[in-house]
């Protein structure tokens, strides 16, 4: 991670080794540097802390800061050494990501965990300061950093490196790159359509796919939240049995013991739902990551669209200039132009004037042809690189989602086993009544 290129704009070729990205605490990212030696780093977002400070408008505010610890692992002995440790808040993560979006438009940039709690089932707090939310965000931020660190291209970025190592002054450094200016404001206008005549079909399909992905995952998360809500209700109501059985057992001679112990199992059943749903929240977070990834995909498609649009506009412009030039040279006016009109009305221009104009146009045409060539090249490079990353992303997505579904099944199995146990115990108590 050390010798990151000084110029963050330079895009390096993807590393030959495909590193493992895993949203798990303390997992390692492997990177090659000049193919000479393997150096591993560990990134942890290990703590979250409430802080108060002054914001940009010099007003008191409360925010949460997260501790990022970076360890380098020597390949030979496997020991890790803490190399860096600093605190960052969510807004700094956002800044980092926005920077990456501008400088790596052809990369599907990993998303941040949600800013505000959404798709919340009602018992879960939607408050950003809620400890459970903070905890899940901590995990999400760690996951983000690991994703970036394990991306063959992004991991080499200097600003990313500084994010992990340079606490003070980092913000200034990022802003000095002037990335905000480089950002194409048109990219922000999500709804604006650009009439692109020859888009790359793959990108059109990809955009369509990302829309579908976003829509279906949103829908799924909404329903999941409702299901969680209902499930919570079913479990918790059983807890009432516990209390009433206990009170009832006081007046019963033979049934008393059975009632009392059955009631206890009802309490156990009712309280088991809390852990179950907490685990499920982790699953929901995994889905949310891909919900946000859909946006990242769309951003890449958008960039392609814009590039293509610019290309087409440039080509169009060039064509029209060429035509103008031709008309001037041959004297035929095929196209309407204001100059032509005024010439007709106020008299023709002199041959010298015409020559001058042709010269200017020829220069412009030459420039335009250069530009078009480079734009074309740029476009092709973009498509090639973007598509490589998209393929990488697709593999990652398939792996991750499959694993998520499997882990969901595992959760359900655990829930069922607990249920069987509790109800078997309860049944025994009932039959002893």
Partner 1 sequence: MEGERLASQARSSGLPAGGATGESPGVDAPLLGSSGSSALLQAEVLDLDEDEDDLEVFSKDASLMDMNSFSPMMPTSPLSMINQVKFEDEPDLKDLFITVDEPESHVTTIETFITYRIITKTSRGEFDSSEFEVRRRYQDFLWLKGKLEEAHPTLIIPPLPEKFIVKGMVERFNDDFIETRRKALQKFLNRIADHPTLTFNEDFKVFLTAQAWELSSHKKQGPGLLSRMGQTVRAVALSMRGVKSRPEEFMEMNNFIEIFSQKINLIDKISQRIYKEEREYSDEMKEYGPIHVLWSASEEDLVDSLRGVARCLDQCCKATEKRMSGLSEALLPAVHEYVLYSEMVMGVMKRRDQIQAELDSKVEALTYKKADTDLLIEEIGKLEDKVECANNALKADWERWKHNMQNDIKSAFTDMAEENIHYYEQCLATWESFLASQTDLHMEETSEDKPESH
Select 33 or 279, whichever has its Cβ closest to partner 1.
279
* Alpha helices in 177-255, H assignment, sequence order: 179-182, 185-188, 201-249
Q: What are phi and psi of 64, to 5 degrees?
A: -110, 135
Considering the complex, what minimum distance in angstroms separates the CB of residue 230 from partner 1?
4
Q: Residue 184, Cα to own-chain centre: how many angstroms?
A: 19
Classify burial at 335, counting beta carbons within 10 Å of its beta carbon; exposed 0-12, middle 13-18, buried 19 or more. exposed
Select 128 or 218, whichever has its Cβ closest to partner 1.
218
Considering the complex, what minimum distance in angstroms separates the CB of residue 242 from partner 1?
10
Considering the complex, what minimum distance in angstroms separates the CB of residue 240 from partner 1?
5
Considering the complex, what minimum distance in angstroms separates the CB of residue 38 from partner 1?
22
Q: Is residue 239 within 8 Å of residue 267, measured between CB atoms? A: yes
In the three-class reduction of DSSP (H, G, I as helix; E, B as strand; rest coil), residue 114 is classed as: coil
Give residues in contact with partner 1 (CB under 8 A).
Answer: 209, 212-213, 216-217, 219-220, 223-224, 226-227, 229-231, 233-234, 237-238, 240-241, 244, 247-248, 250-251, 254-255, 258, 262, 398, 401-403, 405-410, 412-414, 416-417, 419-420, 423-424, 426-427, 430-431, 433
Select 307 or 426, whichever has its Cβ closest to partner 1.
426
Select 161 or 290, whichever has its Cβ closest to partner 1.
290
Considering the complex, what minimum distance in angstroms separates the CB of residue 222 from partner 1?
9
CA distance 184 to 207: 19
Considering the complex, what minimum distance in angstroms separates the CB of residue 114 from partner 1?
20
CA distance 409 to 272: 18
Kindly state the tokens that stand for 274: 């809390």
CA distance 165 to 65: 16
Select 87 or 209, whichever has its Cβ closest to partner 1.
209
Nearest Cα residue to 430 out of 237, 186, 180, 256: 256
């Amino acid at each position: 991670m050390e010798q990151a290129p000084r110029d963050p704009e330079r895009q390096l070729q993807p590393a030959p080794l495909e590193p493992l990205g895993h949203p798990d605490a303390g997992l390692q990212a492997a990177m090659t540097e000049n193919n000479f030696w393997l150096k591993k780093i560990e990134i942890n977002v290990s703590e979250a802390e409430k802080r108060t400070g002054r914001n940009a408008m010099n007003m008191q505010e409360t925010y949460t800061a997260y501790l990022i610890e970076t360890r380098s692992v020597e390949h030979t002995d496997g020991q890790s050494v803490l190399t860096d440790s600093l605190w960052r808040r969510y807004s700094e993560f956002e800044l980092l990501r926005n920077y990456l979006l501008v400088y790596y438009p052809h990369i599907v940039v990993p998303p941040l965990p949600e800013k505000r709690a959404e798709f919340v089932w009602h018992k879960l707090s939607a408050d950003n300061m809620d400890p459970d939310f903070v905890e899940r965000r901590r995990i999400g931020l760690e996951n983000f950093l690991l994703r970036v660190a394990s991306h063959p291209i992004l991991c080499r970025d200097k600003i990313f490196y500084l994010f992990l190592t340079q606490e003070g002054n980092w913000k200034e450094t990022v802003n000095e790159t002037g990335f905000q200016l480089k950002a194409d404001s048109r990219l922000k206008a999500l709804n604006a359509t650009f009439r692109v005549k020859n888009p790359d079909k793959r990108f059109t399909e990809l955009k369509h796919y990302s829309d579908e992905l976003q829509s279906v995952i949103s829908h799924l998360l909404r329903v999941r939240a409702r299901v969680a809500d209902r499930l919570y209700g079913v479990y918790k109501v059983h807890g009432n049995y516990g209390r009433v059985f206990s009170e009832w057992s006081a007046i019963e001679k033979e049934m008393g013991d059975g009632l009392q112990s059955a009631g206890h199992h009802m309490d156990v059943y009712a309280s088991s739902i809390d852990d179950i749903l907490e685990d499920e929240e982790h699953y929901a977070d995994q889905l949310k990551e891909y919900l946000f990834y859909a946006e990242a995909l769309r951003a890449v498609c958008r960039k392609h669209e814009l590039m293509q649009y610019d290309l087409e506009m440039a080509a169009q412009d060039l064509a029209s200039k060429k035509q103008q030039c031709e008309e001037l040279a041959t004297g035929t006016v095929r196209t309407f132009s204001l100059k032509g009109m005024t010439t007709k009305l106020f008299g023709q221009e002199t041959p010298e004037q015409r020559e001058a104009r042709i010269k200017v146009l020829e220069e412009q045409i030459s420039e335009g042809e250069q530009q078009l060539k480079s734009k074309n090249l740029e476009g092709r490079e973009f498509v090639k690189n973007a598509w490589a990353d998209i393929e990488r992303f697709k593999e990652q997505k398939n792996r991750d989602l499959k694993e998520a579904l499997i882990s969901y099944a595992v959760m359900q199995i655990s829930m069922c086993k607990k249920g069987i146990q509790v109800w078997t115990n309860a049944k025994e108590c009932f039959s002893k009544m």
